A and B are shown apart, each in its own frame.
Chain A
């Protein structure tokens, strides 16, 4: 069984490619939902140690909105969408015609718009992955939290923390209405699922 930090170049490239295709599909889905063109930069897939990942995403204490979905089926894991304020405002201005300066202003309507967007990006990502690797994956209903980034990120970390000290982050920029906003996704399969996935994709070097 290989953990994240033991992957070779070919295996990492394959994961990067999945990240690219998955976020590309997510951008298309977002375009349809927002009714405007959403483009996306080439995503950066990184495998980092916990503390490094939290710093990379913008520090532990910054407040953010997180949408979390659990993956079951042939692959088990967690996927988390981190929605920082610029992204939140891009969504809210398109859907509800308003922007916020503070997360306190998120009421039920705003929150459910963000949950929906998070759910759509995660589902399209997982659908792309599932058809590429020809595996079945089921997703739970999304859960939503607004709090310190560090605490939100440790949820997927703690879930599989007994297996690995590393986590996979997929970072990209969405471009919509001349705004460039960062979007961060965390995909955390358990170790067995990671190996199964690489095997199905035909790149696992055992």
Chain B
């Protein structure tokens, strides 16, 4: 647990065989763990928004669609096989209950839907998810085993 690799917001890191990937405080953001169990290659993405409509596409990891696609591309470059890659996701909470407005509250929900859609399109199997609700999550992802763990405020850790 000493060799933590921190994934920031709109960021992605890869680790192979060893190392603990961690991304802190996912609120409406979604953390996506991608794993090829055969070569033990793990990728953790922290996306903030659903679909990339930026003209320059400077930060692919900010968005669900381009983030997942770019990570899959980089994993395949390192020898991962698309058919073996599986996913686990967490996040997409609604942090504030603001009355009388649309987009503010449901960015989390839109993120979850965009992640589901992109994974489906890319033929990646979604193994487990812990999404929605109103609580922030810190997500840890162990490259040696593919096991993920969620830490929340005032709750027990969830291993999945």
A contact residues vs B (CB 8 Å cutoff):
50-51, 54, 59-61, 63, 66, 68, 70, 78, 104, 140-141, 143-152, 154-155, 157-159, 161-162, 165
Contact = CB atoms under 8 A, between A and B. Distances in A.
Interface in B97-141: 97-101, 103-104, 107, 134-138
A122 B5 CA distance: 37
Contact of B48 (A61, A68, A148, A157): A157
The bracket for how many chain B residues form the interface is 20 to 34
A145 B98 CA distance: 11
A147 B9 contact: no
14 contacts: A60-B138, A61-B25, A144-B96, A147-B153, A148-B27, A148-B138, A150-B24, A150-B27, A152-B27, A154-B28, A158-B27, A158-B49, A162-B49, A165-B62
A127 to B, nearest CB: 20
A153 to B, nearest CB: 8
Contacts, number: 103
A157 B9 contact: yes
Interface string B134-160: 111110000000000000011000000
A104 B101 CA distance: 29
Interface of B: 8-11, 24-29, 48-49, 53-54, 59, 62, 93, 95-101, 103-104, 107, 134-138, 153-154
A142 to B, nearest CB: 9
A136 to B, nearest CB: 18
A151 B91 CA distance: 10
Nearest to A144: B96
B138 A61 contact: yes
Given A70-B101, A148-B153, A150-B25, A155 B95 contact: yes
Contacts of B104: 70, 78, 155, 159
Given A151-B27, A158-B49, A158-B107, A145 B96 contact: yes
Contacts of B29: 151, 154, 158
B107 A68 contact: no
A50 B107 CA distance: 17
B95 A152 contact: yes
B96 A68 contact: yes
A161 B62 contact: yes
Contact of A159 (B26, B103, B134): B103
